[in-house]
Amino acid sequence: MSRPDGLPVPARTRHLRRGPDPAATRGPARPEARPDDGQHLSHLAAGDCRRPDAGAHAAREPDAAAQVLARLEGAGAGPPVKVLVVGGGWAGLAAAVQACQEGHEVTLIEATRHWGGRARALALQDAAGHCLRLDNGQHILIGAYTATLGLMETVGVDLSRALLDLPLGLPFPDGLGLTTPAWAARWPAPLDALAAMTTARGWSWHDRLALLRRSLAWRLRGFRCLPTDTVADVCRDLPRRTMQDLIEPLCVSALNLPPAQASGQVFLRVLRDALFGQGHGALRPAHLLLPRHDLGMLMPAKAVDWLRARGVDARTGARAMALRRGEAGWAVSVREDGAVRTEHADHVILASSAEVAGQLVRDAATSVTPGQARSLLAWADQAQGLPHTAIATVYARSPSARLPAPMLALRPGGTAGDLSASLSAQFVFDRGQLHPDDPVMQGVLAFVVSASPDDRVALETAVIAQGRQQLGLDQLTPIRTVVERRATFACLPALARPPARIADGLTAAADYVDGPYPATIEGAVRSGRQAASDLGRRHGLS
């Protein structure tokens, strides 16, 4: 689908202001919370167990001196653009930080009471009454995620303390599989990954050489393939062992689809950056980086503190209800504390879900000319038409359990042939090793099921059986299963993703926006940074 035509450049507003807007009551309906989408998680004894995310309280008035200082630090060739970022996930936070760095006047609103979007913390109690600070899904970073790691450092995250740095490795509980030997852990890329390939346990030399040959062929072709190729197509000559132990778990974890359905081109891009790309600082691109903190503390809380220290008005509980073209810029009706007010801005960055962004853009089409409306509706149709897939995380506990490594790969099924692959976890994480100083976390395991089915009960039963059999944990019991039904867009071959630019003064920032990456934190952060980096050019400031 072609990019929508731009709207005429609006006149610059003089203030990013709020005012009563009692007539603005329409807007996108809030998706109804489903029983197992993570929104229902119990917060028993909230005063003791639930630690609110930064910003979950009433917003402070932005500090005028801090705003002036931030604009001076990022002063460019012209007056600052007044920016409203709708959505406080990783893309929205990245956009707000980038826009603030460039000296623009930024307001950031988030509909829920937490920052971080889908990559956020969850507080709950287990059957014994222990307060657990977990996540709505287990996430992995790699050293090649330079935009994400750079953003974290910008807002004050100490990467060495926040992330557990592990050399590339996908070992199974029996010790077989791909592991970077200790003597090669600090080799430069791609030598560290090559060492892991040539020493993989349980692989024959035929398996190892086949992967090396295929990797060389991918590199000689620039890690490119036909847009219609699947991962299975680009890996068609690889031995079964290599597919089972490496390609299949990598594919389903990165693209959330099995190789027969996933985009070969997007998969090759991820491999290129991980095996032959640049890392961040001393972090090797292929290294696995496991969060030592819950996802709320990993970056979102730090980012909100950083933004507010620079005068940014960052508020939760502020839901965008309607978007329309104003006489000068854009006007967004925002419901907050029971009232509907209007935010006016030169530029709006929609960093919300595809469904919500599409509905807001569809709403905006009623305030423009018929020709402009067609462009907006085309973008909304494309965004809301994206297929999605689910990810499940089964949290469980086994007394005194300690895995051989903080992260292990798992084989399908609890016992041979008794469970379908769709009900099997691909990875298990030892939360006790990630939080060694927290006694409550000892014995807590997180099983991740990518491309998961919707049946939470069947999923939990199957994964617990899989864990008991493969990990030898007879006393493994479930704590909670979280299913994100629309966790990622389905990264299919030749999928047409909506462009970042929607209209003049209106941009989307999210992992689903057209780009080289699948639905990952890195894709979201890159999209947010790019949306904010383009503000000066789009408003004639560069």
Q: Please determine, for residue 349, whether its predicted confidence score (pLDDT) is greater than 90.
A: yes
In the structure, what pLDDT confidence band is assigned to residue 416 with cuts at 50, 70 and 90? very low
- Give me the residues paired with residue 105 across strands: 82
What pLDDT does residue 537 have? Answer: 63
Question: Please, are residues 113 and 51 in contact by the beta-carbon 8 Å criterion?
Answer: no
CB-CB contact of 341 with 23 (8 Å): no
pLDDT at 370 over 80: yes
Helix (H) or strand (E) holding 537: helix 535-538
Q: Nearest to residue 314, comparing CAs of 56, 529, 59?
A: 59
What is the model's pLDDT at position 342? 96
Virtual torsion, Cα 116, 118, 120, 124, nearest 10 deg: 140
Residue 488, Cα to own-chain centre: how many angstroms?
9
Which comes out higher in pLDDT, residue 57 or 383? 383
Q: Give every CB contact of residue 537 below 8 A, 6+ residues apart in sequence.
A: none
Q: How many residues does the chain have?
A: 542
Burial of 439 (0-12, 13-18, 19+ CB in 10 A): exposed
Homologous superfamily, domain 18-33+56-120+295-387+495-538: FAD/NAD(P)-binding domain (3.50.50.60)
The per-residue pLDDT for 285 is: 95
pLDDT of res. 517: 94
pLDDT over 80 (residue 76): no
Single-letter amino acid code for the residue at 146: T
Whether the pLDDT of residue 541 is over 70: the answer is no
**pLDDT the model gives residue 69:** 52
Which residue would you say has higher pLDDT here, 14 or 27? 27
Does the pLDDT of residue 337 top 60, yes or no?
yes
The answer to whether 509 touches 92, Cβ cutoff 8 Å, is yes
pLDDT at 37 over 60: no
Smallest Cα–Cα separation from 505: which of 478, 456, 539, 473? 539
Q: Are 376 and 459 within 8 A, CB to CB?
A: no
Higher pLDDT, 127 or 209: 209
Give the model's pLDDT for residue 297.
82
- 457-503 pLDDT, tens digit each: 999 999 999 999 999 999 999 999 999 989 999 999 999 999 999 99
Cis amide bond preceding 62, omega within 30: no
Q: Which residues pair with 56 in a beta bridge?
A: none
Average pLDDT of the segment spanning 362-368? 96
Percent of the chain with pLDDT over 90: 71
Q: Find the range with the poorest average confidence among 97-101, 132-136, 181-185, 417-421.
A: 417-421
Of residues 520 and 126, more confidence is placed in: 520
Residue extents of the structural domains in the chain: 18-33+56-120+295-387+495-538, 168-286, 388-489
Under the banding of pLDDT at 50, 70 and 90, the label for residue 67 is low
What DSSP element (H or E) covers 211? helix 205-220
Say what angle helices 205-220 and 264-276 make with each other, to 10 degrees.
Answer: 100
Per DSSP, the three-state class of 350 is: strand
Kindly state the DSSP code that residue 184 receives in the 8-state scheme. G
Q: In whole numbers, what is the pLDDT of the chain averaged over residues?
A: 85
Burial class (CB in 10 A: 0-12, 13-18, 19+), 35: exposed
Q: What is the mean pLDDT of residues 119-135?
A: 79
Q: What is the pTM of this model?
A: 0.85
What is the pLDDT averaged over residues 157-168? 95
What would the mean pLDDT of 249-258 be, rounded to a whole number? 92
- The answer to whether 423 and 449 are in contact (CB under 8 A) is yes
> Lowest-confidence range among 137-141, 151-155, 266-270, 515-519?
137-141
- Higher-pLDDT residue of 195 and 297 is 195
So what's the pLDDT on residue 42?
32
Q: How far apart are CA 37 and CA 393, in angstroms?
A: 11
Count CA atoms closer than 13 A to 189's CA, side-chain side: 22
Q: Which helix (H) or strand (E) holds 333?
A: strand 330-336
- 3-class SS shares of the chain: helix, strand, coil, % to 5: 35, 20, 45
CB atoms within 10 A of CB 96: 31
Could you tell me what percent of the chain has a pLDDT over 70?
83
